[in-house]
């Protein structure tokens, strides 16, 4: 799995869908739901693109990235690095001979004073962050906050006048098949627009404990990281973050962090940092044979493998072997359901946990703790 590296341009199915819709062959479906806006996306792009920014970062030379550079000659083109970098593994390089690491990404302005949202992996660890607007203006940016677990970051620039902005939409309303538009800075080329559809929602790509991605076939490439994914109303419904690419080329499978999650994390980063609930258990999926014995159609719940000493779970009476079926009203069908439910609970709040304990269901009250970000 790679972060915002190339995607193949999607198959040109929009015209076909529009043609089918215009003939009225899709029963019970309004034609507007399938059609690209009249005249294309030109008006939408003209409205939103001034708020999409291009980000360049440099990172201080460290022994670690000096060693990385030692794997290949300085200045080797990126494509050759990808193909032949393994040939240079183990070659020593002194930190004083290494060059600052550079990277590019995208972002979008959400406040006229200069608040910008981007990916954590774009700016985390950067020594300098430079932001360029579509009108050519350049600004030095300050990193306000970074949340690696959701790959969301907030940076800030200062301008003499109000800046153009975009607003968040409701990602929960997006459905597979809905049209989307991605705007960003692929390969450092500057403003680039691609279109596609939502391929799937609530995707778990195993990149972290809070995966809940929107999958799209809109072309997303290296440098699109942190850029916005728009709906037909010009609202940000996702932030482009990762692609699936077995060989580094585009295969039409990209992933965006849903705007509902981005909004929540941004609000916390602007107010001092992200706070998450903590339960203190190690969990695993329910085995198929256990589900059959219990009479379930399919495995569900989270099996407790271990309970941390003196944790909220231990104090509430949760034990190894218990199966958590619901947490604070959220049914647990996958492990990430529990992870997200606990993380989204405010520390020191009480929550009801329904568990299967030695074959019997029981409800326990647990006072949720605060997750130490160093242990996340």
Q: Which residues are bridge partners to 128 per DSSP? A: 58
Q: Which residues are bridge partners to 73 per DSSP? A: none
3-class SS shares of the chain: helix, strand, coil, % to 5: 25, 30, 45
Q: Which of 151, 217, 322, 337 is catalytic?
A: 151
Q: Which of 106, 121, 211, 245 is catalytic?
A: 121
| HSE-up (13 A, CA, CB side) for residue 174 | 34
13 is catalytic: no
Q: Which of 4, 195, 225, 250 is catalytic?
A: 225
Q: Which residues are bridge partners to 24 per DSSP? A: none
Q: Interior CA angle at 14 toward 11 and 20, to 5°?
A: 125
d(C-alpha 103, C-alpha 4), whole Å: 12
151 is catalytic: yes
Cα separations in angstroms, 32 against 43, 77, 180, 232, 334: 17, 45, 14, 11, 36
Q: Interior CA angle at 80 toward 79 and 86, to 5°?
A: 120
Taking the CA atoms of the chain, what radius of gyration do you get in angstroms?
Answer: 23
172 is catalytic: no
Catalytic residue set: 121, 151, 225
């Amino acid at each position: 799995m790679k972060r915002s590296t190339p995607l193949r341009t999607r198959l040109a199915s929009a015209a076909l869908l529009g043609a089918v819709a215009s003939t009225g062959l899709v029963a019970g479906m309004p034609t507007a739901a399938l059609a690209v806006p009249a005249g294309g996306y030109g008006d939408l792009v003209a409205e939103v693109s001034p708020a999409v920014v291009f980000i360049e970062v440099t990172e201080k030379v460290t022994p670690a990235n000096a060693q990385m550079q030692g794997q290949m000659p300085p200045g080797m083109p990126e494509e050759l690095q990808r193909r032949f970098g393994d040939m240079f593994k183990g070659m020593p390089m002194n930190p004083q001979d290494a060059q600052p690491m550079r990277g590019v990404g995208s972002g979008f302005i959400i406040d006229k004073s200069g608040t910008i949202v981007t990916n954590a992996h774009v700016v985390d660890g950067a020594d300098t962050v430079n932001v360029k607007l579509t009108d050519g203006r350049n600004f030095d940016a300050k990193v306000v906050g970074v949340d690696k677990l959701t790959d969301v970051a907030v940076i800030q620039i200062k301008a003499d006048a109000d800046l153009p902005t975009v607003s968040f939409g409701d990602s929960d309303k997006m459905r597979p098949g809905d049209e989307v538009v991605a705007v960003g800075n692929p390969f450092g080329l500057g403003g680039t627009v691609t279109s596609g559809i939502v391929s799937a929602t609530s995707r778990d790509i195993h990149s972290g404990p809070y995966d809940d991605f929107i999958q799209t076939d809109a072309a997303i490439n290296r440098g699109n990281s942190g850029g916005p994914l728009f709906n037909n109303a010009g609202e940000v419904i996702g932030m482009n973050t990762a692609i699936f690419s077995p060989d580094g080329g585009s295969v039409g499978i990209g992933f965006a962090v849903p705007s509902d999650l981005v909004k929540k994390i941004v609000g916390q980063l602007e107010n001092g940092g992200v706070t998450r609930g903590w339960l203190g258990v190690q969990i695993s999926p329910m085995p198929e044979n256990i589900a059959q014995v219990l009479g379930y159609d399919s495995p569900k719940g989270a099996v407790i493998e271990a309970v941390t000493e003196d944790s909220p779970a231990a104090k509430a009476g949760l034990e190894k072997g218990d199966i958590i079926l619901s947490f604070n009203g959220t049914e647990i069908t996958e492990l990430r359901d529990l992870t997200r439910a606990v993380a989204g609970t405010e520390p020191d709040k009480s929550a009801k946990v329904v568990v299967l304990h030695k074959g019997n269901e029981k409800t326990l009250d647990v006072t949720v703790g605060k997750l130490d970000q160093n242990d996340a």
